[in-house]
Amino acid sequence: MATNSTRPEPHRHCPLCGQDNRRLPRSRFSRDGWQLKSCWQCELLYLENPPPVESLANEYNWSATSKIEDQRRLDDHPTTAGLRSSWKRWWRRWLPRRKLETLIHRYVVTGNVLDVGCGNGARFSGWPRSIVPHGIEIDADAIEQARLRAEQRGGRVIHADALTGLQGMVPAEMQGIVMHSFLEHDVRPLEVLKAAQRVLCDGGALIIKVPNFACWNRRYWHENDWPGFRFPDHVNYFTPRTLSHIIAKAGLRIRRFAWCDRLPTSDNMWVVAGKVPLVKRQ
């Protein structure tokens, strides 16, 4: 639960279309004083009163809040939460998911790849040796491990929020950019995507993974207790339509967003985007 000392400004406009939704009633999915709003103009569900960015780097960082949320679910629903946790551990051990590595192999192959919100850099180990890993990370507890892992392969890691880190980079210096379980955390997702578009080279690939608010698990089974709800560090809740909309608005084009990347039976969805080709004047 948030404390008064960390409560941010009264409201934030819709991060996709800029609409001021302060007069709208809060969504029924709101919790513990954290106000979710469903934009009447573009339909994006977002947290209207997110904590300050520095709080997301400290007391509300993902590594801390994920443990708190897992414990809350276990306390509220000990049987189902315990079974779900055991199933996930079994699945990850015997049927590990390699979708990110598969997409990098197919759409990037070689060159500089930036992981936005890289954590401790553990994902770097699954990337081809032809890739030079780079990262941006705001969590001070994770940054040193990430730096060590990146520098061993000729890369670097920037300690900053995503937008600041991207704005300080050289245009078109990355062959690939990864936003793995990141975009739902950032209060300025459109600005971050625009900054990523500038850093991405022509022909490069931006690989995004986010929770799918339109999935059946949320709509028909868990609703308010859907695993995709994380308060207050998840500040944007995308559907396939709103994710496609924000990508296009950032000046990017979708290269891959197939049915298998957004299955309604999955809590998550994947998309691969690239730069919109410039039209030459006649």
Output phi, psi for 133, to 5 deg.
Answer: -85, 140
Q: What's the rounded mean pLDDT across residues 118-129?
A: 95
Answer for the pair 12, 48: CB distance below 8 angstroms, yes or no: yes
pLDDT of 6 over the 90 cut = no
Averaged pLDDT of the chain: 86
pLDDT of 208 over the 60 cut = yes
Tally helices (H) and strands (E) across the chain.
9, 10
Answer for the pair 135, 143: CB distance below 8 angstroms, yes or no: no
pLDDT band at 225; cut points 50, 70, 90: confident
Could you tell me the two tokens for 68?
């708190």
pLDDT band at 266; cut points 50, 70, 90: very high
Q: Which pLDDT value is given to residue 224?
A: 82
pLDDT of 222 over the 90 cut = no
Q: What's the rounded mean pLDDT across residues 163-177?
A: 97
Distance of CA 176 to the CA centre of its chain: 16
CA distances from 198 to 106, 116, 174, 186 (A): 22, 14, 10, 18
Q: Which pLDDT value is given to residue 86?
A: 52
Residue identified by tokens 């850099």 is 121
pLDDT tens digit sequence for 267-282: 999 999 999 875 555 5
pLDDT of 245 over the 60 cut = yes
Quote the CA–CA distance of 27 and 48 in Å, as a whole number: 10
Q: Which pLDDT value is given to residue 2?
A: 37
Quote the CA–CA distance of 37 and 28 in Å, as a whole number: 9
pLDDT of 95 over the 50 cut = no
Residue identified by tokens 């809040």 is 65
Higher pLDDT, 275 or 76: 275
pLDDT of 82 over the 80 cut = no
Give the global pTM.
0.86
Q: Which pLDDT value is given to residue 60?
A: 61
Could you tell me the two tokens for 165?
């880190």
Could you tell me the two tokens for 173?
């210096």
Answer for the pair 51, 24: CB distance below 8 angstroms, yes or no: no
Nearest one of 261, 232, 227 to 244, comparing CA atoms: 261
Q: Which pLDDT value is given to residue 257?
A: 97
**Could you tell me what percentage of the chain is helix, strand and coil, using 3-state DSSP and rounding each to the nearest 5?**
40, 20, 40
Q: What's the rounded mean pLDDT across residues 57-84?
A: 56
46: which strand partners? 37, 236
CA-only gyration radius of the chain, Å = 19
The CB-based long-range contact list for 108-111 (8 Å cut-off, 24+ gap) reads: 108/175, 108/176, 108/204, 108/205, 110/175, 111/174, 111/175, 111/176
pLDDT tens digit sequence for 7-61: 445 689 999 999 999 999 999 999 989 999 999 999 999 999 998 877 666 666 6
Q: Which pLDDT value is given to residue 105?
A: 94
| CATH architecture for segment(s) 97-217+234-275 | 3-Layer(aba) Sandwich (3.40)
Q: What is the DSSP letter of 10?
A: S
